[in-house]
Amino acid sequence: MKPLHLVFLISIFINPQIRAQSVSPIEKEVIHLINQKDFFKAKELTENSNLNIAPIYQEYFNAILDNAFNRPQSSNNRIEQLLKKNFNLPDSLALKLLKVKMDNSIKCDAYREAKETIHTLLNRYGKLLSSEDENDLRNSLKIWSALENQPRQEVTIPETNQIKMEIDKAGLKNLRIGAGGDSIHFIFDTGANLSTVTKSTAQKFKMKILAGDIEVGSITGKKTKAHIAICPQFTFGTIKVTNAIFLVLDDDALNFPQLGYQINGILGFPVINALHEIEITEEGFFIVPKEETVNRFPSNMALDELTPIIHIDGKNYSFDTGADQSMLYPNYYEENRDTINKLYKPVKIRMGGAGGIKELDGFIISKTFQIQGKQVSLAHLQLIKEDTVNHQGIYGNIGQDFIKKFSKMTLNFHQMFILFN
């Protein structure tokens, strides 16, 4: 689902008798940063003790930022207190908190709680929703209603795992996943909100396909039908995953005849997040360590719902290990329009996803990134001028061409960092 713009009223009530002060400039600035998904700068401001942020706003910001930095239970605890106390919050604030609560519940595998929160959003705050937001919520309601009586996902990691990955026809790294007496290569994809399989893979893995269908969006902006399934158990290395959620698509939806390429399965965010830390080496090894890495750099990863965001050069990019090439979005173009128009000629950019392949207007440019004291130069970086999905506040997507510049990458979903060596 796409985050709502936060409509903030001039004042709130701490209780029926005491009126709070007007929203201060610093509070407005934090609100703006959160709307732009710049959680890093918002966190920096809210942690500055010299800034006079009203206690209720501070707690509200903390709830949002706990969610963004993958502390879902802490965020939900704060939200429960904010909603329970006699604060008489404006509907716009309560709606925002409930959307965050829904996301927290999903991350905690609390499917029934996610469903009930969506019901509250639709029934109590439907008048504040755009038709697109309402449709997204109703689509999500189908998912969590189907899952409300299903057991939670569990992941067992008995020891450090070092698994050799294989490169597929599209140049993407795959893990061999075993289940139901069979094994199949899955793409490792941080950009996938949910793990995904084709119908034929679901059958081989003896997955339990649940009633009802949902709509799934793709990077092309097109939507396709899918079902929800539970995989009783699958393994990779000595890691065992039980009761994992999967989207199930028709085989054709993940087939790219132009490339002679068929995707059978994608390992997405819920499983990756549950591993806590992973390392991928230049030699193609996928490592899940028993002990976490010590990081000396500031946290540079946040979450926009189920999508990882990496902070580079003061800008925010989605982080997608399932993309063979990085890409820049219209936000980057708008900030650098004159330079780009002067130096580069317009081209057509081909984008592929579950909805097929689409061509968009754009450019092929060169850019150098600075990260953790290192330079990363990409000579053939795609830039699109138009949005097919909501990329508000996000300047691009970091993919495998960036990652391959390093000998090792570490993702830690506990300390929230992406480390490149």
Distance CA 304, CA 141 (A): 19
Please give the chain's pLDDT, 421 residues, in tens.
433 332 222 222 223 322 344 789 999 999 999 989 999 999 999 999 888 899 889 999 999 999 999 999 999 999 999 988 756 677 888 899 999 999 999 999 999 999 999 999 999 999 999 999 999 999 999 999 999 999 999 999 999 999 999 999 888 899 999 998 899 999 999 999 999 999 999 999 999 999 888 988 765 566 788 999 999 999 999 999 999 999 999 999 999 888 899 999 999 999 999 999 999 999 999 999 989 999 999 999 999 999 999 999 999 999 999 999 999 999 999 999 999 999 999 999 987 665 567 889 999 999 999 999 999 999 999 999 987 777 889 999 999 999 999 999 999 999 999 999 9
Q: Which residues of 84-98 are buried (b: 16+ CB within 10 A; e: fewer)?
A: eeebebbebbbbbbb
167 and 106 housed in the same domain: no
Would residue 220 count as lying in a domain? yes
Would residue 224 count as lying in a domain? yes
DSSP SS3 for 1 = coil
Give the CATH number of the domain where residue 73 resides. Answer: 1.25.40.10
Structure-block tokens of residue 369: 């990134």
161 and 274 housed in the same domain: yes
Domain endpoint, select from 97, 113, 147: 147
DSSP string, 315-356: EEEEE-TT-SS-EE-HHHHHHTHHHHHHH---EEEEEEETTE
What do you get for the CA distance between the two ends of the chain, in Å? 34
Please give the helix or strand (H or E) that residue 97 lies within, else none. Answer: helix 91-107
Give the CATH number of the domain where residue 389 resides. Answer: 2.40.70.10
396 is in which domain, residue-wise? 301-420
**What global pTM score does this model have?**
0.90
Structurally, the chain folds into a number of domains equal to 3
Angle at 23 between CA 94 and CA 311, to 5 degrees: 75
Domain endpoint, select from 126, 147, 168: 147
Distance CA 293, CA 296 (A): 10
Question: What are the residues whose beta carbons fall under 8 Å from the beta carbon of 337, sequence distance 6 or more?
Answer: none
Domain endpoint, select from 89, 115, 147: 147
DSSP SS3 for 296 = coil
Would residue 6 count as lying in a domain? no
113 and 201 housed in the same domain: no
